[in-house]
Amino acid sequence: MASVLETPLNEQQLLMLRLLKKPLPDSEFQKIRRYVVSLLAEQLDEVMEEWEKENNITEEEYIKMSHGHFRTPRR
């Protein structure tokens, strides 16, 4: 029985599904998966760098935050 997706796939997602319609050997699929994860990691790095520039976040800020705690005080 076919199910309807609540969020439809975009054209790029549909194209990827068509490309991968025929199962690949696991080793080849893992190569593709690692490559896609690498691309997404690069995008995340770019977004974070831009956010750090916009908000003047420096390495010192990260060090300062790493020594603090952000827990809610007990009641």
User: What ranges do the domains of the chain cover?
Assistant: 25-67
Task: Read off the tokens for 68.
Answer: 């603090």
Q: Computed over its alpha carbons, how large is the radius of gyration of the chain?
A: 21
- Which residues fall within 8 angstroms of residue 24, CB to CB, at 6 or more apart? 32
pLDDT digits (tens, 9 = 90+) for 43-65: 999 999 999 999 999 999 999 88
Task: Give the pLDDT band (50/70/90) at residue 24.
Answer: very high
pTM summary value: 0.66
The whole-angstrom separation of Cα 4 and Cα 66 is 45
Chain-centroid distance of CA 31 in Å reads: 17
pLDDT at 68 over 90: no
**What's the average model confidence in pLDDT over 31-46?**
98
